[in-house]
Amino acid sequence: MPTAIHYTCQRCTACCRWPGEVKVGAAEIAALARHLGLSEHDFIQSYTRLRPARDGLALLDKGPAADGTSNHECIFLEGRDCAVQPVKPIQCAGFPNTWNFPGWRELCEAVPSLPQSQPFEPRVWSGCRDSNPGPLRPERSALPS
């Protein structure tokens, strides 16, 4: 069975700047609106857009920069921080562990680690002693003379 790797976010913010959508459902909208002290109606009007498939809402991007270049940053990205971190959408909280896409590793700086629940046995090669028959021992022919 393959070992599940857990990736720890390094707050590189790459996932907050990619083109795409951050989907938000009713419960997320309620939490975000409450966090910002807004009514749900005002939150929806100020911070969401209809998804292209017209099957729900997504957070707004910041839109084009002053010089006209495209800017796909999430409306809630402030430098390297998320302005709604305590109530950020499930989609944000899950990346890259619960979902990701081909090529994400080239863009994201998350650090892989073994899950805490797995017992960890360090496999450190301790030299060429004959008393070390472990599988990591190199072939004698590979050792420096």
Residues of this chain that bind ligand SF4 (CB under 6 A) = 16, 22, 59, 74, 76-77, 82, 84, 88-89, 92
Name the minimum Å distance from CB 83 to ligand SF4.
7
Beta strands in 60-127 (DSSP E): 77-78, 81-82, 111-113
What residues contact residue 106 under an 8 Å CB cut-off, 6+ apart? none
Residue position matching structure tokens 């270049």: 69
Task: Record the tokens describing residue 3, joined without a space.
Answer: 């070992």
31 phi and psi angles, rounded to 5 deg: -70, -45
Name the minimum Å distance from CB 40 to ligand SF4.
17
Nearer to ligand SF4, 73 or 137 (CB): 73
Nearer to ligand SF4, 74 or 110 (CB): 74
Name the minimum Å distance from CB 111 to ligand SF4.
18
